[in-house]
Amino acid sequence: MDLAQFGARPDGGVNRQALSPEDIAGRAQFITWCEEQGYACSSDAVGNLFVRRAGTDPYADPVLTGSHLDSQPTGGKFDGAFGVLAGLEALQALDDTGIITRRPVEVVAWTNEEGSRFQPGCMGSSVFIGATGMEDILGCRDRDGVLVADALAQTLAAAPNLPRRSMAFPIAAYVECHIEQGPILEQAGKTIGIVTGIQGYRWFAVEVRGQEAHSGTTPRRAQKDALKAASAMVNALETLMIDESDTLRFTIGRFEVEPGSPNVVPGRVFFTIDMRHPDQAVLAARAAAVEATCRAAAGTCEVTVTQTFATPPIAFDGAVVDLVAETADRLGLPSMRLGSGAGHDAGYMARVCPSAMIFVPCEKGISHHPAEFATSADLAAGTRVLADMLADLANR
Ligand code: HGY
Ligand code: MN
Ligand code: MN
């Protein structure tokens, strides 16, 4: 609730977009809470924040938990924030119970998980593991033309005393708490989601270029109307993405028309594609047809289709997934296994260390919306599973 004040929206939601002044302020508050608890904070070159609780062996690979502090522009209080603060709560629980671990335990707040202001998403975690290069992201711009390089420099400069941390350091295991962002747990009456994996997803950026013209004087057969071409592409894509089983996900979240004047034939349209599926073969086959589908509907306009984000379906580590299940059982919490429809930083961590996620229900499955809500009891239950798992994993 306190963190939600940073970027608070009048409708109860949160707008704390990556590397924004609101994100910078929220990060500073989080660091203050950590330092008040006596933990050392550090940051790597892409702004990932690390909070370390020492173990008896300072050289042992740490166990990590965490999530992200950035939000969607019309986000909720819990997406990302829960996982970061659950990590801090778990560290405090280890302190309160006097549990000593061999391995250090660290909480991480990954930079720009959402990919809303700057694409791609999971920017901090994918750069950390080396799946994306710094040079690939520093030149990304937001809608106002602001570079990641500049917004990142401002973010790092706002916490000048944070020691720098290397990237890709070895990690023993990673566990992330997150709200489900779907209705499955609530409908099944379960408190804990034992997340088995994350579906694959692809993002595309499509630019359609026509010709501005006078809406009154230009014959329609001579017009190169980028909006009408883009609309034809959207309808053709909708047909391409038909799936009677309703497993395939397809969203056009951004659709910009230029110059946006009532009496000028649109000369340019930019739109985004977000498509997802748990089966790599289905995802790859549909994604492979996107460009041709757009070209076929372009008419007299030009079109450029760029894939901006691609991550395959991933399965989490069986032993860590089973530990989520065993811990929930031991704590007497009703649980079930499920896959994640939403993407998470854990998807990248799974490429470098044994990883898993703990879900808790959110009301009606609403997320990426100001009405996003989870109960204190469910959030506390997820945090208890996390604290138990961290104590266990950090003594292996
Ligand atoms: O897009 C996603 O799935 C994540 O919630 N950012
Ligand atoms: Mn999230
Ligand atoms: Mn999200």
What confidence tens digit (pLDDT) does each residue in 366-375 have? 999 999 999 9
Q: Where residue 138 falls among pLDDT bands split at 50, 70, 90?
A: very high
Closest CA to 360 of 121, 78, 152: 78
Ligand nearest to the CA of 80: 2
Q: Check residue 195 and give its pLDDT.
A: 98
User: Which residue out of 78, 119, 125, 181 has the highest number of ligand 1 atoms within 8 Å of its CB and is therefore the one to mutate?
Assistant: 181
| 203 CA → ligand 1 middle, Å | 11
User: Which residue out of 125, 368, 369 has the highest number of ligand 1 atoms within 8 Å of its CB and is therefore the one to mutate?
Assistant: 368
Q: Which atom of ligand 1 is nearest to the CA of 201?
A: 3
What is the percent of the chain with per-residue pLDDT over 70, rounded to a whole number? 100
Q: Check residue 393 and give its pLDDT.
A: 98
Q: Check residue 179 and give its pLDDT.
A: 98
Q: Check residue 334 and give its pLDDT.
A: 98
Q: Check residue 159 and give its pLDDT.
A: 95
Ligand 1 site, residue 343, Cβ cutoff 6 A: yes
The label of the residue with tokens 């008040």 reads: 36
- Structure pTM? 0.96
What is the rounded average pLDDT for all residues in the chain? 98
Q: Check residue 353 and give its pLDDT.
A: 98
Q: Where residue 22 falls among pLDDT bands split at 50, 70, 90?
A: very high
User: Which residue out of 14, 113, 119, 311 has the highest number of ligand 1 atoms within 8 Å of its CB and is therefore the one to mutate?
Assistant: 113
Q: Where residue 208 falls among pLDDT bands split at 50, 70, 90?
A: very high
